[in-house]
């Protein structure tokens, strides 16, 4: 189960494909989506749906960031191969995934869960669906348009 709507999103710092440290509290409002693994079919479909909807999200003044446990090297290849216009963040330890209730127990891979976080670091909505990769971006657009 994802973190609750209306709760404060935990702040975190992770390495980013930008080459700089990413701090949540300095990049609000935003969409943070957790995904299992670079280059897998569902994760590629999800990333590409956020890529395809990126200009609409930016028009709504919201940035997008993807998070998985993959390395920055893997993220950079994934980002380049699919022309992703947003940064990917690496959570090697899985601690941020765990804070966001986005870690599958035992196997310790990230769940497919997406958060819309407002300028006050409050979770406006969540969407969790391991198999509906394209629905994550659509849900965020729907929530932003009200």
Average pLDDT of every residue of the chain: 93
The tens digit of pLDDT for each residue in 97-111 reads: 999 999 988 888 999
CA-nearest of 62, 114, 69 to 86 is 62
User: Whole-angstrom Cα distance, residue 105 to residue 93?
Assistant: 14
Strand, helix or coil for residue 122: strand
- Cβ contacts of residue 59 below 8 Å, gap of 6+? none
Catalytic residue, chosen from 30, 43, 48, 97, is: 43
The answer to whether 135 and 45 have CB atoms below 8 angstroms apart is no
Q: What residue ranges define each of the domains in the chain, with the CATH number in brackets?
A: 13-145 (3.40.30.10)
**Residue 43 known to be catalytic:** yes
Please tell me the distance from the alpha carbon of residue 123 to that of residue 7, in angstroms, as a whole number: 6
Q: Is the dihedral of CA 52, 124, 13, 44 positive or negative?
A: negative
Q: Name the residue with higher pLDDT: 14 or 144.
A: 14
- The pLDDT, as a whole number, for residue 34 is 97
- The pLDDT tens digits of the residues spanning 12-54 come to 999 999 999 999 999 999 999 999 999 999 999 999 999 999 9
CB 79, CB 43: distance < 8 Å: no
On whether the CB atoms of residues 124 and 46 are closer than 8 A, the answer is: no
């Amino acid at each position: 189960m994802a973190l609750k709507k209306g709760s404060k999103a935990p702040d975190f710092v992770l390495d980013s494909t930008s080459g700089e440290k990413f701090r949540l509290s300095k990049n609000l409002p935003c969409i943070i989506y957790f995904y299992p693994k670079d280059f897998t079919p569902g994760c590629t479909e999800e990333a590409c749906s956020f890529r395809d909807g990126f200009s609409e999200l930016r028009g709504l003044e919201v940035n997008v960031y993807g998070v998985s446990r993959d390395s920055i090297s893997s993220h950079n290849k994934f980002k380049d191969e699919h022309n992703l216009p947003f940064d990917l963040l690496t959570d090697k330890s899985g601690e941020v995934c765990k804070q966001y209730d986005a870690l599958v127990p035992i196997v310790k891979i990230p769940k497919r869960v997406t958060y819309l976080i407002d300028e006050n670091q409050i979770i406006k909505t969540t969407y969790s669906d391991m198999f509906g990769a394209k629905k994550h971006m659509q849900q965020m657009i729907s929530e932003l348009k009200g």
